[in-house]
């Protein structure tokens, strides 16, 4: 994992412990649903926490290719590194 992916992994671990009452370990190979037992609310809490920390937006389509903690860390690191589209405000 790259340095930025490790940074995302650390944030995933923090959210799991602090906000999702998860007392087990969180490893890159862990399946979000099967190993971390995340339900729809848990996934939303995780997504919102990552969006806040890395100032990104994640969508339903993003979730398609994401199964493990490592998949999620890679997606978030890529999104955080991408040039931000300027927000258009009326």
Partner 1 sequence: MPSSASGPDSSPFIRAVGRALPPHYVSQEQLIAAFRELWATRHFNVERLEDLHRAVQVGGRHLALPIDDYRALVGFQQRNDAWIRAATELSETVVRQALDKAELTPADVDHVFFVTVTGVATPSIEARVANRVRFREDFKRTPLFGLGCVAGVSGLARAADYLRAFPTHTALVIATELCSLTLQREDLSIPNIIASGLFGDGSACAVLRGGEAPGARGPRVVASRSVFYPDTERVMGWDVVDTGFKVVLSAKVPNMVREHIRGNVDRFLGEHGLARGDVRHWVAHTGGPKVLKAFEEALELEAASLERSWRSLREVGNLSSASVLFVLGETLEGPEPRPGDWGVMMALGPGFCAEMVLLRW
Among 9, 42, 69, 70, which residue interacts with partner 1 (rule: CB under 8 A)? Answer: 42
Cα dist. 75→3, 18, 34, 85 in Å? 14, 22, 19, 17
Nearer residue to partner 1 within complex by CB, 40 or 85: 40
Q: What is the dihedral of CA 61, 63, 67, 71, to 10 degrees?
A: 90
| Residue span binding partner 1 (CB under 8 A) among the ranges 4-12, 28-36, 45-53, 77-85 | 45-53
Q: Are the C-beta atoms of 68 and 31 separated by less than 8 Å?
A: yes
Size of the site for partner 1 (CB under 8 A): 16
Positions that interact with partner 1 (CB under 8 A): 19, 21, 39-42, 44-45, 47-48, 51-52, 55-58
């Amino acid at each position: 994992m790259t340095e930025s992916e490790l940074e995302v992994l650390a944030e995933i671990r923090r959210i799991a412990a602090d906000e999702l009452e998860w007392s087990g370990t969180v490893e890159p190979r862990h399946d979000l649903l099967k190993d971390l037992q995340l339900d729809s609310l848990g996934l939303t809490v995780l997504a919102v926490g990552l969006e806040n920390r890395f100032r990104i937006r994640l969508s339903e389509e993003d979730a398609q290719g994401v199964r493990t903690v490592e998949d999620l860390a890679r997606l978030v690191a890529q999104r955080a590194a991408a040039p931000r589209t300027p927000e258009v405000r009326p």
